[in-house]
Each structure stands twice: as structure tokens, then as C-alpha cells.
Amino acid sequence: MATKQRGRPRSFDRETALEQALRQFWEHGYEATSVADLTREMGIGAPSLYAAFGDKRTLFEEVLVRYASSYGAFGGRALAEEPTARGAMERILREAVDSFTEPGLPHGCLVIHAATNCTTPEVEQTLREQRNANVATFAARIQQGIDAGEIAAGVDAGDLARYVGAVFQGLSQQSRDGATRENLQVVVDLAMRAWPEA
């Protein structure tokens, strides 16, 4: 025997609402985005938001997962598909430029921008851990390159990974400050000139 669902059925598309929340957090950051901003952008009332997504922080955590699997997925593809560490890091930076300057989308990286002026310790910690995990992933791939002899043996994988991470974060901020795709591709050119070959 089928059981009846209690309450009124949802009158909005959850995936569309989640995408709208993602854009709001991406454009304004975590702290500057209020529940009122979210409900207005998502076209739902606060009770519907809480029922569908939980509180603001829980919604943001879901947004981060969605962002990583969509707009931010280029990094994982580069790491999986490029045969060399240099190729993977360069592709990540070049595709970051494309992503960060895509017309019709907020500029920069959501994970980097959302941390601006963040005063919620749990969110700040989540974002820090995600950025540090990215650098650790870079370091592991760079270490593979060192072990394979494509990068000089004396190079510290962690140091080089932090360099790539710093360039990545700088590209994000520069794109928000108005740098064009062409401007930022030149930055990547300059950054890759410093790459330590074997």
C-alpha cells in the first residue's frame, strides 16, 4: 500500500534552485550572501529553502560539491588526462583562465572568492581544507613527475605545488579585478617559464 506524502509537494525545481544559489555565492561570497538574497534569487520562501536544503551553511556545502563536479571539474580532468606533471599544471592554469573569465558567469573561483571576509569559522575551515587539498593533489602529481625524471630531482614537490596554487589563486583575483582572458594567459606563459625542467 502506497503511503501519502505529507505536506504540499515542492513547487520548484531543486536543481535549478541549487544552481541559482551557486551563482549567488559565487558572485558575492559566503558571508555577503544572506538567506533573503538566496530566497529572492531562487524564487522560493525561507521555509522552502530550509526544507529542501537545510540552513545556509548546509546549502553552501552542497553548492561546493556541485561546483567541484561542474565548473571546477577541469582540474581533475587535466590531472587524469595529461601525461606529464608540467602538462597537467599548465592545462589547469590555462583552463582556469577560461573558466574564470567565462562570459555570463561570475568571474574567478567560487572556493577562493567565497572565503573573502568570511567570519564563519566552519565555512572558513572547509574552504581552507579544500584549497589545501588541491595543493596536496598538485604536489602528488608533481612528485610523480620528479620520480619519472621529467622534473629535476632537487625540486621540492610541495614548494612547486604551492607556487602553482598561488598562481591559480592570483588568476582568480585578477579576473575579478577586470583582467581579460588574454591578460591572464600571458600570466600563465610567464608562470610556466619558471617551470623546472629535468
Residue 148 sits in which domain range?
Answer: 71-194
Name the pTM for this structure.
0.90
120 close to 31: Cβ distance less than 8 angstroms: yes
Q: Is residue 9 part of a domain?
A: no
Q: Are residues 57 and 136 in the same domain?
A: no
Is residue 165 a part of any domain in this protein?
A: yes
Domain shared by 122 and 45, yes or no? no
pLDDT value at residue 11: 64
Question: What sign does the dihedral 174-17-56-37 (CA atoms) show?
Answer: positive
* Total structural domains within the chain: 2
Residue by residue, pLDDT tens for the chain (198 residues) are: 444 445 444 567 889 999 999 999 999 999 999 999 999 999 898 998 999 999 999 999 999 999 999 999 999 999 999 999 999 999 999 999 999 999 999 999 999 999 988 999 999 999 999 999 999 999 999 999 999 999 998 999 999 999 999 999 999 999 999 999 999 999 999 999 999 988
**C-alpha span between 64 and 128 (Å, rounded):** 13
